[in-house]
Each structure stands twice: as C-alpha cells, then as structure tokens.
Structure 1
C-alpha cells in the first residue's frame, strides 16, 4: 500500500507517510462543507471551526472511533470554489487517486481553519465526494482491507448555485446516481441545512437525501458532528436502519441547541 524506497510509486502526502493502517475494519466519513460567503454572517464560520476542533479531539478520545474511522473534508466556497483537504492540508480542487487519498485516520485528523468566501457549488462538491469515497473503497479492497458503509455529510446554509452565484438545478443531475447508491448501499448520505430557513431550500436537501435531510435553526455544528459520531458508532455496531433514523430524529428535535454564538 505504501511506497518502498526505490519504488516508482509516488510517496504519499503527509500525514499518511509512514502510517500503518490498523487492521480493523475501516469506516470512511467524509464531510462536505459549505464555506461560501454567507457563512461570514452571524459568526457561522467561527462556530464551524470551533466545532471541528472539538470534534477532532473527541475522535481521539473515543477509542472505538479512533481505531476505525477515516476522515476526509471537501469544502465548497472560497477562492478555489472547491477544495479537497487532507486534514488541514489543502490538496486543491481535485482529489489524488489511490494510494494517495484525502482520508486520514481519526486519531491523526487535524481540521483545517476555514474561511467564508465565494459561491455554493454544492453539486460539484457532492459529485467529487462520491468519487473520493468510491476511490477509497476500491483502494481498501485492493489492499485487502474491509470497510463499513461510508458516511457522507453535506452541510450548507443556502441554495446551490452556479459560478455566478445564481440558483442552480445542477444537483439534479446527481439524483439518479444517488438513488442507485442508496439501493446498492454504497454510502449513507446526510444532507443538512443550517442557519436561516430559506423557502424551498429544504426541498433541495430532501431531493438529495430523502431519508436523512433536515434544516436546523442556527448553527449547531457541534451537535451535528456529534450525531455523525453516533452514526459511526451505530455503523460499527451493525445497527439497523431504524437506529440511524432515531439518531437523525434526535438531532432535528434537539432542545436548546443551534443558537448563534454571541
């Protein structure tokens, strides 16, 4: 899996160099995060950065997740419009192919410090997320490693747009593939809106993820990431679909959460 001295295979980017995979079954978890300019309002991007830092620490402290979960981040927004991250290292607008990967083991995950800028190219980011997960699964199989059903969590505070910032139905091109992915259990997709509720925006999320979609008032990023951890534990435990629905229902019906920090 890793390049040997003198091998023609390119070395893996840090922090993968020198890392030996745990023999435990892997659980890929990809965060697809909106970092468009609207996140600069109401302290949203600050809340997101704070939540990511706390979540990274919680992954290290959770022995079960630390041993099995691999984390990748894709952001849509910013000057690059789409950015693939390997921990806090930006890899650019496209992802490397196996054996290089944006996924890092949970105990080594260092979140990027995100800035709010640009437009909401949700469809391109989600397409890339699907490709990254598919490549990672194929690479794990090639290396003789097994994996749980991956999780992709898309988080946005607005409508999907094109490069000019105008509303775009481009995401609908993904729907047939997403439905096939559901049927074939390729991954579990969560689509979550945060902040002010925009008329019709939740319908976009519903189209993307009919089973797991929600619009959450305010910016409850910590609670959202905690729910992703709970879902990962449930996946490790072989939970049936009803348990994942319960986890998501508790997130949507949380009490006293989601307030914008002062």
Structure 2
C-alpha cells in the first residue's frame, strides 16, 4: 500500500495498530458555551491532518476509531462513516487504516456511556488484527488501545456500573496485557469517574484535566512510538504518565509567561 510514495508497513520493522475509543455521550456536549465535543472534533481534524508530516508514524501506524454513547460505532473507511457494531461483528482488516488516511467524521454528543461494550469490541478487533498481520508474516507490535472519556461506564438504562459489573471486562483487559496481546490506557478528562475507571484499568488510568485534546493525542501517539517491543505494559503506562506530567508542566509555564 503506497502512502505518499512510501510503502505503508515498510521502512520500519513493525506495524503498529492503534484503537482509539472516544466517548461521545451527552456529557461531551457540555458546557453549552464551549462543548467538549466541538473541541474534540477540532483536535481530531488538526491532529490527523498534521500526521502527514510525520514519516515514522505514517509508515507504521494504522488506526481503528470507535465511538461510544448509547451505541458502539466503528469508523468504516469504505462509506466514510461510523457504523454500529458488536464485539464479534467487525471486520478488522477493513477497519484499520493507515494513520494519514484516517479522516475522522464529525462526532455528535448524545446518549449514555456504554464503555464496557466499546472496550469488548476494541479487544476483539485488536486481537483479530494482530493475529491477521502475524498470519501474513508482517512484523507487528502489540496494539495500543486508548480510551478517552469524561464520564463513567453505564448500563443500558443509564445507571453507573459498579466494580462487580466491570470485573469481567477488567479481567480480560489485564489478561491480554499480561500475555502481551495489547497495551490498554484510559484517559479521564473533565470530571471523569476515576475510581470506576481505575477498576477497569488500575495501573493505566490517567487524569488529564489541563491539556487539550490535541495535546492528549500527541502524548498517546508518542508513547506508542517510544515504547520498546520488550517493555511490559506497566512500564509503558508509567511512560505515558511521565509524558503527560512533562506536557502539563510546560503548559503551566507557558500560561505563567502570558
């Protein structure tokens, strides 16, 4: 697959699948005067447009974009839109696209926060893509799965899930990390329910209140590029925390100079 004259997946040793899970529930439509969903849409457009100048990323990274509110949807590059999907219904080969060919749709904020269903779908897609690339003898690194949310997981009626309801999904996340199948990270923003998110990812939930969505995307993609194939997941989570803290300090210094 040619990407601006460079063969995608060649020139570097490994392919790097990334699954980006984005909260599009009703709370992302707040505050009314400056909805977070507008900020996220702007950041996605800027970031994916800008990645075309980053050769290392555009020759290695492929992305699958998932949104979750009352329905879990996956971006299908064929029709160029989000389509509803269940954990065992998605075609990973079609839904992962080279990072510089990802054209994010305009997201809308509505509905509940069906996070666990989105995570289960992401795990199935990541596992399927990883194994498919291995079967094609294409060198591939562990997929990175990144959740960005401002809320708490809910059930179909909108009630928050408790720790017991999250245990099954949390166990599968951790088991996959320990076996080297993926790296899973949760970013909580703007009032996210961190205690419940930490049930899902105890060592991999980071609160980033003072960074905009574009900066968060930079941190996440930098972490995948800097991580080594032999690093365990906990080391990578710590690396993300370090990158985030450094960026937050820089932001604070810049605000102080204004």
Q: State the TM-score, normalized to the length of structure 1.
A: 0.80
Identify the match of residue 9 of structure 2 among 19, 22, 26: 22
Taking a change above 3 Å as real, the CA distance of residues 75 and 177 of structure 1, as seen in their structure-2 partners, is same
In the alignment, which residue of structure 2 is the partner of 1:127? 120
Q: Deviations 1:173-201 (Å, cap 9, x if unpaired)?
A: 2122122112112111111111125xxx2
Taking a change above 3 Å as real, the CA distance of residues 177 and 51 of structure 1, as seen in their structure-2 partners, is same
The two structures, once aligned, show a CA RMSD in angstroms of 2.4
Structure 2 counterparts to residues 8-87 of structure 1, below 5 A? 22-23=9-10, 24=12, 25-42=14-31, 43-77=35-69, 81-87=71-77
- The Cα shift of 1:240 comes to 4.1
SS at 2:95 equivalent: coil
Identify the match of residue 108 of structure 1 among 92, 101, 110: 101
Structure 2 counterparts to residues 226-245 of structure 1, below 5 A? 226-235=218-227, 238=229, 240=231, 242=235, 245=238
In the alignment, which residue of structure 1 is the partner of 2:239? 246
In structure 1, C-alpha distance between the alignment counterparts of 2:245 and 2:140, rounded to whole Å? 28
Q: Mean alpha-carbon deviation: is it higher for 40-49 or for 162-171? A: 162-171
In the alignment, which residue of structure 2 is the partner of 1:208? 200
| Structure with the higher fraction of residues in helix conformation | 2
In structure 1, C-alpha distance between the alignment counterparts of 2:202 and 2:102, rounded to whole Å? 30
1:178 and 2:165 correspond: no
In structure 1, C-alpha distance between the alignment counterparts of 2:39 and 2:133, rounded to whole Å? 34
Q: Deviations 1:37-92 (Å, cap 9, x if unpaired)?
A: 110002200011111111102321110000000001111016xx110113542232
